[in-house]
């Protein structure tokens, strides 16, 4: 009979972790206490705490294996409680599992002692510094960023202007990343015109939660045109975000800009989205948010291109 890697005390510890950590995650998410759910302390500190507690207290044969199992259970339970936070959970999962593997490996080397433990100690201050990103305003990379998407349209600049002046018919996301992660999807818009002061109100798929008796909450994004230049050979229109009840939990979106220029036998249209990243660590969430925003800008370009061709 094979030896059970977990002692009775280890099982109780693991059970305690499984019980306490989802509650902690829920409290931080619901209360937004200290905005910790948007910092590296949440996404790096959580798996670090799991790994250290299991490796140094539970003493299993494989600290990494048990840590991975514990995190899997914690994430599964947290997913039932986070509602729309599932987006962040799915995106953050590789980071959490990666940190579990790294921290468990380092902690195991230190626990075993010997030559390797001395070298592993050098990683401790680095891990400590990394977990502080996002706390007290600390960040390693600039938060301001921009997403961009461009498309060539077999249509005249005037057709592009007409499409931008009217609410589009939104279709489903085609990019695999946007389809795989449950991002809010635009479903309808109101507002017309391309003059400064004209507005748009974009409705998105409603927010849902798992709370008993809760009903879907409408989500919207209100925009106002603050700059507009429409010419025979192209133009530029800047939509400033007036109210964001859709993406505010993931990014601080400032404006969306549409530019179009006559090119060859058609028109080149480009959308750019200016925003500030609100999640840490920057080296992980920065590229992911930039990629997702590029896809969103490309989606807008394709959507209005289709409208210009109708």
Domain spans, the chain: 8-137, 144-309
Distance CA(73)–CA(97), nearest Å, equals 12
Say whether domain 144-309 belongs to CATH 3.30.530.20.
yes
pLDDT tens digit string along 123-133?
A: 667 777 777 77
Q: Give me the pLDDT at residue 4, please.
A: 46
pLDDT classification of 41: cutoffs 50, 70, 90: low
Q: State the CB neighbour count (10 A cutoff) for residue 95.
A: 18
State the pTM of this model. 0.75
Distance between alpha carbon 309 and the CA centroid of its chain, in Å? 33
Please give the structure tokens belonging to residue 86.
Answer: 């599932």
Decide if 64 contacts 105 (C-beta within 8 A). Answer: yes
Please give the structure tokens belonging to residue 120.
Answer: 């592993």
Residue found under tokens 């401790």 = 124
Residue 81 in this model has a pLDDT that exceeds 60: no
18 Cβ contact list (under 8 Å, min separation 6) = 70, 73, 74, 77
pLDDT tens digit string along 272-288?
A: 999 999 888 888 889 99
Residue 269 in this model has a pLDDT that exceeds 60: yes
User: Looking at residues 28-57, what average pLDDT do you find?
Assistant: 59
């Amino acid at each position: 009979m094979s030896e059970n890697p977990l002692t009775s005390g280890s099982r109780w510890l693991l059970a305690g972790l499984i019980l306490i950590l989802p509650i902690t995650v829920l409290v931080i998410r619901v209360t937004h206490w200290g905005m910790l759910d948007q910092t590296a302390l949440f996404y790096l500190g959580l798996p670090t705490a799991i790994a250290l507690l299991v490796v140094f207290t539970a003493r299993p044969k494989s600290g990494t294996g048990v840590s991975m199992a514990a995190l899997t259970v914690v994430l599964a339970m947290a997913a039932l409680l986070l509602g729309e936070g599932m987006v962040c959970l799915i995106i953050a999962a590789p980071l959490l599992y990666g940190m579990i593997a790294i921290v468990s490996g380092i902690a195991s080397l230190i626990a075993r002692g010997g030559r390797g433990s001395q070298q592993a100690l050098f990683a401790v201050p680095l891990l400590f510094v990394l977990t502080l990103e996002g706390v007290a305003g600390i960040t390693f990379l600039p938060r301001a960023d921009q997403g961009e998407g461009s498309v060539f349209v077999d249509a005249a600049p005037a057709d592009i202007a007409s499409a931008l002046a009217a609410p589009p018919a939104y279709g489903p996301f085609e990019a695999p990343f946007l389809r795989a992660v449950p991002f809010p999807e635009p479903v309808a818009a109101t507002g017309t015109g391309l003059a400064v002061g004209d507005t748009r109100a974009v409705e998105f798929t409603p927010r849902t939660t798992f709370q008993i008796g809760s009903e879907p909450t409408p989500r919207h994004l209100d925009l106002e045109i603050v700059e507009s230049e429409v010419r025979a050979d192209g133009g530029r229109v800047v939509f400033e975000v007036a109210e964001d009840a859709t993406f505010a939990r993931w990014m601080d979106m400032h404006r969306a800009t549409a530019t179009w220029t006559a090119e060859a036998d058609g028109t080149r249209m480009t959308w750019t989205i200016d925003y500030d990243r609100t999640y840490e660590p920057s080296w992980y969430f920065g590229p992911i948010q930039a990629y997702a925003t590029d896809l969103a800008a490309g989606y807008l370009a394709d959507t209005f291109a289709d409208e210009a061709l109708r």
